[in-house]
Structure 1
């Protein structure tokens, strides 16, 4: 990478990376960091849950372009709901750095609506220093191809009306659609898990859902050149009218539709057996997301486990640090009413079998 599009010196560009749970936002950002070409970057990571998995993944990169002090983790709630309390102080702290960042990347929670965050950049104190270079929506193409989200609201309404077991709307559809509607660029991720026909169909569905010209770019493992992602010069804060949202008439939005909790689990001797057990658990309880760190007995490396629905992946991400507690903990995220007691009992069963 040689250069990014220029921005007025008084305003630092900010890229907002949004996308549904497990779409690959953190992987995409890590790729940006590893190919930043020496440009000073800063990250603001908004977690959902009290185990900072995404922040830890990015901090462990050890990349000179984004030192650890330039990674800010906000875990007090969805960033789009806590702009004044969390986001503004974080920005102020980054700008007070003797060597302030040249570009800021914000990774929102998978449950976040990006438009309220973009609106914050229209506040005079923020507008004077920052501009939204672009909103990037990362889509789990394989999940969408499998029908996780509906693209025809009338057909969904008819289906729900015909099914007595469905008595409420699925809020995930609105979150997904709002993220697309606010985007300046859509990354159709996990393309390697899709057929050619699925890639064409999902790409067309995404383009049809957005009432303006937005490029859809296919990717695998979030591998996209930073010059495609950064330097869009969208000034999204000046373009809010063209970014409709299901929640435009509301003061905010409610995340009571989701439950999130962290559970301590035992160390494992067999990573694959653990992942298989977690996948079965996710399928049995309709869990949206499981992510966390696990100790593998006899191994010096920490195991990162991430699951979207029943699709899981795991890898050793870094060595355990000297004096670091080797506690194995995972965050479980599901829709409101998820059977937490049953899930915790199942995870406790893992401990009993490991004893």
Structure 2
């Protein structure tokens, strides 16, 4: 938590079957010493993508660095799934050098991009780039997705999905957010199909975007990773069909850091956090505590009143033993005096 360096994150979007998992498998194998972590959200193929990627695991991207989110479309489950997962990856030791996120084929990329402004993570990560994969044959034919039946099955499999967006609009939203478009399956489309796909992408993209063809996911990682787009600072230039719709803006949330000395009883701290979450509608509490007489640091992770604690590592000799907790809630629920009193007990 004392390391202020920001970890780059690459978002990989595209319809089911466009080749996202194949691309990420290649990036894992060609990591060249870069420690990777991967978040997979292709819930329509529950367990499959995660297992595939874990089968590619290497020392620089071990299986525990590959997390599958299967509770629904990632753009609709940001608070419940995505933010806690990213925080878990940021807490890994050793920390990842780069995080790759494979979205669901139905995910709208802009809500996910906005999530990177959440107080819990905005100072710790940066969106290195948004990569959109497009199936050349499907795009050239105006279908956009290679298997329409699979897409509809994927939509039906997620009862919590909050948007019924036509595929053409999802495709346009993917292009609008993209820093790079990877055109896949050009061998199936043929030269004419690739030319049509390129023309459609050029016509639909709201700003010039580089299009690179690739086969079987093989590409130099230097082309995909290291774009340094800082996309979270460029959201206004990435229009969406859903701009202006009612949504829970991340600016509605605020955070504070509460610091105190050593504690005597971890169970008492947990009880105080539970009470605070109930009384003040606190969304998240995270941080660590110094327990008197214990050589290990106590990690604290709370989502609402659900709290997990574990001793994660010994205190270093150069560290000050102290308790430091980050509290996240809506603006009107953040009161430093009330929260401080509740946590101090």
Q: TM-score, normalised by structure 2?
A: 0.63
Which residue pairs with 2:135 in the alignment? Answer: 140
What residue in structure 1 maps to residue 110 of structure 2? 115
Q: Residues of 2 paired with 1:90 and 1:11: CA distance?
A: 16
The yes-or-no answer on 1:78 pairing with 2:73 is yes
Aligned structure 1 segments of 4 or more residues deviating by more than 3 angstroms: none
Question: Does structure 2 conserve the Cα–Cα contact (< 8 Å) formed by 1:178 and 1:246?
Answer: yes
Given the alignment of the two structures, is residue 217 of structure 1 paired with residue 195 of structure 2, yes or no? no
- Distance across 1 between alignment mates of 2:223 and 2:45: 33
Instruction: Select which of 241, 245, 262 maps to 1:250.
Output: 245
Of the candidates 165, 173, 182, which is equivalent to residue 168 of structure 2? Answer: 173
1:201 to 196, 201, 204: 196
Listed one character per residue, the Cα deviations across residues 195-236 of structure 1 (whole Å, up to 9, x for unaligned) are: 212212211210221121210001111111100000000011
Q: Secondary structure at the match of 2:120?
A: helix
Matches within 5 A, 1:245-324: 245-251=240-246
Shift of 1:87: 0.8
2:343 maps to what in 1?
none
| Secondary structure, aligned partner of 1:250 | coil
Corresponding residue number in structure 2 for 1:64: 59
Are 1:50 and 1:75, in contact at CA under 8 Å, matched by a contact in 2? Answer: no
What's the CA shift for 1:49? 3.4
Secondary structure in 1 aligned to 2:71? coil
The alpha-carbon distance between structure 1 residues 125 and 57, as it changes in their structure 2 partners (threshold 3 A), is same
Q: Structure 1 residues 51, 83: CA separation in 2 closer, same or farther (over 3 Å shift)?
A: same
Assess if the C-alpha contact under 8 Å between 2:4 and 2:124 holds in 1. no
> What SS is found at the alignment partner of 1:188?
strand
Structure with greater contact order relative to length (CA < 8 Å, sep ≥ 6): 1
Judged with a 3 Å threshold, the aligned counterparts in structure 2 of structure 1 residues 149 and 91 are, in CA distance, closer, same or farther, namely closer
Distance 1:229 1:126 in 2: 23
Segments of 5+ residues of structure 1 without an aligned counterpart are 1-7, 151-168, 254-355
The 2-side partners of 1:170 and 1:183 are apart by 18
Does the 8 Å CA contact 2:41/2:104 hold for their aligned counterparts?
Answer: yes
- Counterpart of 1:195 in 2: which secondary structure? helix
For 1:149 and 1:140, locate their aligned partners in 2 and report how far apart those are by CA, in whole Å: 7
Work out whether residues 79 and 108 of structure 1, in 8 Å CA contact, stay in contact via their aligned partners in 2.
yes
Which secondary structure does the structure 2 equivalent of 1:17 belong to? strand
Number of matched pairs: 228
Rate the CA distance shift 1:199–1:117 in 2: closer, same or farther, 3 A.
same
Question: What is the deviation of 1:64?
Answer: 2.1
The verdict on how the C-alpha distance between 1:193 and 1:252 changes in structure 2, with shifts beyond 3 A counting, is farther
Aligned match of 1:351: none
Q: Is the 8 A contact 2:134 2:144 kept in 1?
A: no
Distance 2:6 2:67 in 1: 20
| C-alpha distance in structure 2 between counterparts of 1:98 and 1:188, whole Å | 35
Structure-1-length-normalised TM-score: 0.61
CA–CA separation in structure 1 for the residues paired with 2:7 and 2:165: 37
